[in-house]
Amino acid sequence: MGSSWFDDSMSPSSPVTVTVTGAGGQIGYALLFRIASGAMLGPEIPIRLQLLEIPTGQKAAEGTALELQDCAFPTLDSIAVTTDAAAGFNGTNIALLVGARPRGPGMERGDLLQANGAIFGPQGAAINDYAADDVKVLVVGNPANTNALIASAHAPDVPASRFTAMTRLDHNRALAQLAATLNVPVYSISNVTIWGNHSAAQVPDISHGLLRQPDGNKIPLVQALAQKLGGTASVEQWLEEVFIPRVAKRGAEIIEVRGSSSAASAAAAAVDHIHDWVGGTADSWTSAAIVSEGSYDIDPGLISSFPVRSTGSGWQIEQDLELSTGVRARIDTSLRELREERDLVRSLGLIS
């Protein structure tokens, strides 16, 4: 692997190499301008962008690269477009794996996983061979948790903790729904968690959530919701019937209203994920899918969403949170799905 951008010998303003796959797609179009403008790593860090596409997406990525050039962002050091994974991941410090095979008509889950295995296996191997020593990987392309598992399995020299999958959009959607319901600013809400798989079986959990009031005191979110909705029983009902389905099915709602899938919000969540991983979380935890080491009885090796904090060097799981019976049951359902996906990709020979 190549050199690291955290090397002491390098000045803090050495360019950081960021690879984006699927750069010609919708999310890529919303993501690249924010990365290049400094929104992800800050205004002091020059960015070297490497856009990786498949041949059918190459022209679109090249067009996006022309527009990026025209923005004249002071933070944009260079842009390269390639269809070659070795070149795309060469020296990369941050890899955003956005391009994935969407589910086509009549495609079974096994077909989808096999098609994505053919993308994420070789990409993991190329990251292993060509990326910088400190590479950090975020998988956005679905099924994100299992795609990250496949990529990691093909990168034996990269610590598994560097392969993550995105549940930050689910997390942000949960914060936004809570803020709208309570009629408070999003930043006053903290300690909300998404557990498990990034799928309809995800587990939005507000049981440890806090609301900062105008006087600075924090109260439990459940208490604030009970005041708003008329009692604890109403909160339970709202969580079951409104909040959890709304967050889990928000993607479908966006498609119905907008006429195409969410792209800018997915891109914003990817920026948030890397921003907090590299720069550290503030006073609240966030949610990210990372490799399990067994916390909360989640099978070691599975890539599951957890409550996480970062000090800038890596994600740490918030430990010892008490889980209600209801939340535990939902996590177990989400875990069953993750195990099935893992077993399927194992049976297809995509991981050992």
Q: Please, which residue, 10 or 264, has the CB nearer to ligand NDP?
A: 264
Q: Give me the least distance between CB of 102 and ligand NDP, in Å please.
A: 4
**Number of chain residues interacting with ligand NDP (CB under 6 A):** 28
Q: Which residues contact residue 238 at a Cβ distance below 8 angstroms, ignoring those fewer than 6 apart?
A: 181, 225, 229
101 binds ligand NDP (CB under 6 A): yes
Closest CA to 184 of 130, 221, 129, 139: 221
Q: Give me the least distance between CB of 34 and ligand NDP, in Å please.
A: 14
Residue 138 to residues 51, 125, 297, Cα–Cα distance (Å): 15, 15, 24
> Which of 140, 248, 274, 308 is in the footprint of ligand NDP by CB under 6 A?
140
32 binds ligand NDP (CB under 6 A): no
Q: Give me the least distance between CB of 15 and ligand NDP, in Å please.
A: 22
288 binds ligand NDP (CB under 6 A): no
Residues 118-137 that bind ligand NDP (CB under 6 A): 119
Q: Please, which residue, 14 or 287, has the CB nearer to ligand NDP?
A: 287
Catalytic status, residue 275: no
> Which of 52, 155, 194, 206 is in the footprint of ligand NDP by CB under 6 A?
52
Q: Which two tokens stand for residue 85?
A: 């994974």
Q: Segment near ligand NDP (CB under 6 A), from 127-135, 140-148, 171-179, 331-339?
A: 140-148
Q: Please, which residue, 3 or 58, has the CB nearer to ligand NDP?
A: 58
Q: Which two tokens stand for residue 131?
A: 């990326």
> Which of 98, 268, 274, 331 is in the footprint of ligand NDP by CB under 6 A?
98
Q: Give me the least distance between CB of 178 and ligand NDP, in Å please.
A: 19
Residue 216 to residues 188, 191, 213, 222, Cα–Cα distance (Å): 9, 16, 5, 18
Provide the binding-site residues for ligand NDP, judged by CB under 6 A.
21-22, 24-28, 52-54, 56-57, 60, 98-102, 119, 140-142, 169, 251, 261-263, 266
Catalogue the active-site residues.
198
